[in-house]
Amino acid sequence: MKKSDITILVADDDPDYLFQTLKGLERAGYKTIAAESQAEAESVIAKFKPDLAIFDLMMESNDSGFVLCYKIKRKYPDVPVILATAVARETGMSFSLDSGQEKAWIRADRYLEKGIRAEQLDQEIMKLLRL
């Protein structure tokens, strides 16, 4: 699979972060679909299977990203999901995907702190898609 054949769904309610992430992914050669809310992302997932998804954790609610992880994995179990968040920086709360128990309830394949460079994000995507 070539990068130009891959479509990535990005859901984030921060317009600046969403724009920067989409631009970085497009520069790397991916096709993108933007969703500015949990509701918009749910609408996309209902109609379309992306090759990979990147979800912000806190959008309409503090658990929007968790809800989206659950919904996409229920419908498309093989779609890799990256949960990108600044929650640790903003609240001091942190979590990881290190234990099986955390993976079971979070349902994301990677957890990344926001501020990740475009090249790092590209590397994570390539690992998840085995490119």
Given this model, what pLDDT does residue 100 score?
A: 56
Cα dihedral across residues 44, 46, 50, 52: positive or negative? positive
3-129: which CATH topology? Rossmann fold (3.40.50)
Averaged over 97-116, what is the pLDDT?
A: 68
Burial class of residue 131 (count of CB atoms within 10 Å of its CB; 0-12, 13-18, 19+): exposed
Tell me the whole-structure pTM to 2 decimals.
0.87
Question: What is the Cα–Cα distance from 55 to 83, expressed in whole angstroms?
Answer: 5
Q: Are 33 and 7 in contact (CB under 8 A)?
A: yes
Q: What's the CA gap between 59 and 36, in Å, rounded?
A: 9
- Residues 99-130 as b/e (b if ≥16 CB within 10 A, e otherwise) read eeeeeeebbbbbbeebebeeeebbebbeebee
What are the structural domain ranges in the chain? 3-129
- Please report the pLDDT score of residue 109 as a whole number: 87
Q: What percent of the chain has pLDDT over 70?
A: 84
